Amino acid sequence: MAGQHTLEFTDANFQKDVLESGVPVLVDFWAEWCGPCRAIGPTVDEVANDFVGRAKVGKVNVDNSREVAVKYGIQSIPTILVIKNGQIHKKLVGLVSKQVLTGALDSAI
């Protein structure tokens, strides 16, 4: 469930690929069984394509990477975090529009 430029973040690579990233990172916390997650997935993939070279966009499957989900207190999915310099810049919960996602990323760049 990822587009051409959408990354997969896991417990194993989150520190290096997200927290130590030199560019802002949009992280979509999702699960296969979550209808709203599947609904927003293609939009996240579009944002990934739009921000190539300016930001990273990826997904964390909360069923496979529980450690990261617990660390960030993810209680509802989809939850989207924009992380800049290892810190949460924006937190969005639930279905949001592409405009909201791009605005959140733009504000971090």
Catalytic residues: 34, 37
Instruction: Name the token pair of 4.
Output: 């051409």
Vertex 8 angle, CA 72 and 24, to 5°? 65
Is residue 51 classed exposed, middle or buried when 0-12, 13-18 and 19+ CB atoms within 10 A define those classes?
buried
